[in-house]
Amino acid sequence: MLVQQILKSKATPGVLTVESTAKVSEAAKVLAKNRIGSVVVSDDGGATAAGILSERDIVRELANVGSVCMEQPVSAYMTSKLVTCNIEATAQQILGMMTEGRFRHMPVLEESGKMIGLVTLGDVVKAQLAELSMEKQALEGMIMGY
């Protein structure tokens, strides 16, 4: 399955973003309110991704420096070296990159570099399960003679 198909199947299109100057506490509120694990950092309203901030990033800094990190800008703790993909990437490729890099969220970019979506590990696993289910039904149909 291609990323393009995964994006079409998502319940909520688009990407939630925060600006790099936003406080970590503001980003944490976005994460909690939307029940998501990461937020893309973008200073132009979502056209380009400057970085990504995850729950893990926040927890790590809370453990390292304490609650003072909550008043710091998102840019201080975001991951700025993003691993991205395009709509032609396969679910298998995405799973491999996420597993190797030990992350769960990947921005999807057009060739021009414009961000068009975000895929999560959960999205990819859901797509893989749907594909396996369809293959199972097709095989059962062949065995039963349908």
In tens, the pLDDT along 120-139 reads 999 999 888 888 888 888 88
* Predicted local confidence at residue 146, as pLDDT: 66
**Residue 143 — pLDDT band, cuts 50, 70, 90?**
confident
> What is the domain extent for residue 63?
3-144
Among residues of the chain, what percentage have pLDDT more than 70? 99
The two structure tokens encoding residue 11: 């319940």
CATH number of 97's domain:
3.10.580.10
The pTM (predicted TM-score) of the whole model is 0.83
User: By CB neighbour count within 10 A (0-12 exposed, 13-18 middle, 19+ buried), where does 84 fall?
Assistant: middle
* Predicted local confidence at residue 12, as pLDDT: 74
Overall number of domains in the chain: 1
